[in-house]
């Protein structure tokens, strides 16, 4: 039952360039979407979120885009920094039932 999918297990980008992480979902009832960032041996921490009534939310270097018709969201990080290297989980929620993707490991090379 994979309602949230992150098809790229890993991504490597050069420092200063843009990182684009993608996420697809199948449940049209999801109304709130989140990106969590996870460092090794730590719990996930909320990075940015977006409600289904919006198509874009920006917070500094991080922007989340939501395309409801395609059931797709993406996280853009620009410019990427080495400290952004982590695993990024996409999550989607309906009625407080949250589902997570399998994660994408981002590596930002100096």
Partner 1 sequence: EAGVAQSPRYKIIEKRQSVAFWCNPISGHATLYWYQQILGQGPKLLIQFQNNGVVDDSQLPKDRFSAERLKGVDSTLKIQPAKLEDSAVYLCASSAQGVMDSPLHFGNGTRLTVT
Lay out the site mask for partner 1 across 1-20 (x = CB under 8 A, - = otherwise): ---x-x--x-----------
Radius of gyration for the chain, computed over Cα atoms and rounded to the nearest angstrom? 13
Distance CA 32, CA 17 (A): 28
Residue 30 touching partner 1 (CB under 8 A): no
Residue 84 touching partner 1 (CB under 8 A): no
Short-list 43, 83, 87, CA closest to 75: 87
With respect to partner 1, which residue has the nearer C-beta, 21 or 36? Answer: 36
Stretch touching partner 1 by CB under 8 A, among 12-20, 33-41, 60-68, 72-80: 33-41
- The residue to which tokens 């922007």 are assigned: 63
Residue 97 touching partner 1 (CB under 8 A): yes
The pair of structure tokens assigned to 56 is 């874009």
């Amino acid at each position: 039952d994979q309602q949230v999918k992150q098809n790229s297990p890993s991504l490597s980008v050069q420092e200063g360039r843009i990182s684009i992480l993608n996420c697809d979902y199948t449940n049209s009832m999801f109304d709130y979407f989140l990106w969590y960032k996870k460092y090794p041996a730590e719990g996930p921490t909320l990075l940015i979120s977006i409600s289904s009534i919006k198509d874009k939310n920006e917070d500094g270097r991080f922007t989340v885009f939501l395309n409801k018709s395609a059931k797709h969201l993406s996280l853009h990080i620009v410019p990427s920094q080495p400290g952004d290297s982590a695993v990024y989980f996409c999550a989607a929620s309906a009625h407080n039932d949250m589902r997570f993707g399998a994660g994408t490991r981002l590596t930002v090379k100096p």
